[in-house]
Amino acid sequence: MKIGFVGLGNVGGKLAESLLRNKFDLTVIDIDEKLTNGFITKGASTEKSPNELARKVDLIITCLPSPKISAQVMESKNGIINGLSENKIRLEMSTTDESEVKRLGELVKNKGALALDAPVSGGCHRAATGNISIFVGGERKTFEKVLPILKVMGKKILHTGKLGSASILKVITNYLASVNLVSIGEALTVAKKSGMDLDTTYKGIKISSGNSFVHETESQVILNGSYNINFTMDLVVKDMSLFNKLSKKFNIPLEISPIVFDIFKEGKKKYGSRAWSSMIVKRLEDSCKVQLRAKGFPSELIDYESEEKSFEI
């Protein structure tokens, strides 16, 4: 199966690397020509537009930063929709709006093509090694067609149901991670002001009932001082807005989400839209005049697990 990949950013680039590493026939496009050229030097090919890419390949994967950009890439004159034909598959791996997934899915189906949404979860460091988790929404038969390819990009694969269901689940899990990140900042600050050694605090939380994936990963780059989690403040704000939109659709009176959403909007304004999301803890560091630091923690996360056998959950 010939694969096209549109969007070679922090996540998309690593997913595409896994395909290339496993010898798939890969055609790539990104608005940043340096990223595209980097893949060409490694053996990938490219096309002048998403439209031409879609005409050339069997599976078109998109991994883009916002619903607006996804719509532009799909619906523009030189977009993917106009390059689709019968039985081609469009796989949306962006974190996006489930209503947009469904709307664009109808346009895909009108071309006789097939649509899936397949956002990922687990951090960029796991995307780099093919050990990330993937949620997939859409028809089971279509899912099974691309499952061998999904198993190259990810380790744990979950078919979530109908088209759009994967995007709902992804937004929910990103919300939980964002809340956890804010609470970790508060916990570490209380520990620091209480005179606790933060290396000891990290280890204590890790072996306790308060442990989490976010603590095991993001706390490390916070304690290092780099904050480099390969995920930016604007993306958290985007994801939380999608979560809040879902809650309003069903008239759910959320209490925690609006507070955390405001915290990240303030963080984005204070530190910049492209600041690492882990920098949200700097609000408390600055306010309390402390630095949440400990020796021996990495500046960037690396997945030291080998590329393991993938499986469906």
Task: Say how far apart CA 108 and CA 114 lie, in whole Å.
Answer: 6
The total of other beta-carbon atoms located within 10 Å of residue 102's CB is 16
Is the distance from CB of 61 to CB of 3 less than 8 angstroms? yes
Q: Which domains does the chain have, with CATH numbers?
A: 3-163 (3.40.50.720), 168-288 (1.10.1040.10)
CA–CA distances in Å: residue 49 to residues 19, 109, 176, 195: 20, 21, 37, 57
Q: How does pLDDT run across 101-142, given as a tens digit for each residue?
A: 999 999 999 999 999 999 999 999 999 899 999 999 999 999
Task: Say how far apart CA 118 and CA 120 lie, in whole Å.
Answer: 7
Asked if residue 308 has pLDDT above 90, the reply is no
Position 304 scores a pLDDT of 82
3-state helix, strand, coil in the chain (%, to 5): 50, 15, 35
Burial class (CB in 10 A: 0-12, 13-18, 19+), 39: buried
Specify the pTM.
0.95
Position 306 scores a pLDDT of 75
Question: What is the average pLDDT across 276-304?
Answer: 96
Nearest to 283 by CA among 271, 298, 297, 299: 271
Q: Which residues contact 302 (CB under 8 A, 6 or more apart)?
A: 125
Q: How does pLDDT run across 234-249, given as a tens digit for each residue?
A: 999 999 999 999 999 9
Collapsing DSSP to helix, strand or coil, 113 comes out as coil
Task: Say how far apart CA 189 and CA 172 lie, in whole Å.
Answer: 26
